[in-house]
Amino acid sequence: MEKWLRLAAVLALACSFCACKKLKEMREGPGGPLPFGEGGKEPVSAAGVAGKYTGSGTNPEGGSYECDVTVSRKGDAYGVMWYFDGALGYEGTGILKGNTFVVGYAGPQGYGVVAYVVKRDGSLDGTWAGKGSTKVGTENLKKR
Amino acid sequence: MRVFGFLILTCALAAAAFGDVVGEYKGAGTNPGGQGSYACDVKITRTGDAYAVQWLFDGALGYEGVGIVKDGLFCVGYASGQGYGVVVYEIKGDGALEGIWTTPGFDGLGRETLTKK
């Protein structure tokens, strides 16, 4: 009986650890805490996220890349363009919600999604996934 | 006995956390610019660190998407033969997903609410 109790306690600890880790990730995203004040819910300035950026990222399956990114305001939404060596590679459409800038993109190699956290210095810290991917990539954009 | 209570409680919590957005939903939405409304069925499955999303209209697959959870938001990029777009859903306490979406050419935001079947 004591053996079963010990096993149950170990299982309970493992379960609560996983649950807490998962809840933290759901609240904060895999990249850690939010950039702005308490709870990160202060809105981004009226200028929003429009601008020109230099980007560096990592692919879900390994390897890294560099790109130039242009974000322009289109009504309540944003248009996003990714350039690789000066050539347009992907186009996207984005929505700014709180401090999270979410972009759906499409290109010759399919479609996907990027969720960027807007940092205080105006840089964008992104996590992305392409169609069918089981892992996520990262992409960091800094204002030019 | 207390240990078993704790075990059940934590496992239920873990199940709730892991279940997150996976499931089958009834969807109701409006197009950007108040251009009509629609109903759909939505299936969300887990694919490792990401999610696959399917929108069905009258039982036929209309759009497919890929999603990630970030900051309590379920972020989805979708595509079909008719183009692509983005949806940002807020994950509600009751498991419902409250979304805003857009697609190139609209400039406005549509709405879509998903409730678990």
CATH number of the domain that B81 lies in?
2.40.128.120
Q: Is B15 inside a domain boundary?
A: no
Q: How many CB atoms lie within 10 A of CB B41?
A: 17
Q: Is B13 domain-assigned? A: no
CA distances from A69 to A12, A21, A47, B94 (A): 47, 33, 17, 37
**B37 vs A4, more confident:** B37
Residues of chain A with pLDDT > 70, as a percent, come to: 68
A113 contacts in B (CB within 8 Å)?
65-68, 75-77, 86
ipTM of predicted complex: 0.85
- CA B100 to chain A, closest CA, distance in angstroms equals 8
pLDDT value at residue A36? 45
- In tens, the pLDDT along B64-115 reads 999 999 999 999 999 998 799 999 999 999 999 999 999 998 889 999 999 9
The set of residues, in sequence order, having a beta carbon less than 8 Å from that of A124 and lying 6+ positions away, is A49, A53, A101, A116, A117, A118, A139, A140, A141
Domains: count for chain B? 1
Among B residues 32-51, those touching chain A with beta carbons less than 8 Å apart? 47-50
Statement: residue A87 has pLDDT above 80 = yes
The domain spans of chain A are 1-33, 49-143
Q: Tell me, what's the pLDDT at A19?
A: 56
The CATH number fitting domain A49-143, selected from 2.60.120.10, 3.30.450.20, 1.10.510.10, 2.40.128.120? 2.40.128.120
Reduced 3-state DSSP string for B29-46: EECHHHCCEEEEEEEEEE
> Is residue A43 classed as helix, strand or coil in its secondary structure?
coil
The C-alpha of B64 sits at a distance from chain A's nearest C-alpha, in angstroms, of 9
Pair type for strands B37-47 and A110-118: unpaired
Neighboring chain A residues of B52 at a CB cutoff of 8 Å: 132
Substitution target from B69, B70, B84, B107 for chain A, most A beta carbons within 10 A: B70
A30-34, A48-52, A92-96: the lowest-pLDDT one: A30-34
Containing structural domain, residue B25: 20-116
- What's the confidence (pLDDT) of residue A22? 53
The answer, yes or no, to whether residue A119 has pLDDT greater than 80, is yes
Residues of chain B with C-beta less than 8 angstroms from the C-beta of A25: 69
For residue A44, the SS3 value is: coil
* pTM recorded for the entire structure: 0.79
- Which stretches within A29-116 are classed as H helix? none
CB-count exposure of residue A107 (10 Å: 0-12, 13-18, 19+): middle
pLDDT at B35: 84
Q: In this complex, which of B4, B10, B106 lies closest to A16 when CB atoms are compared?
A: B10
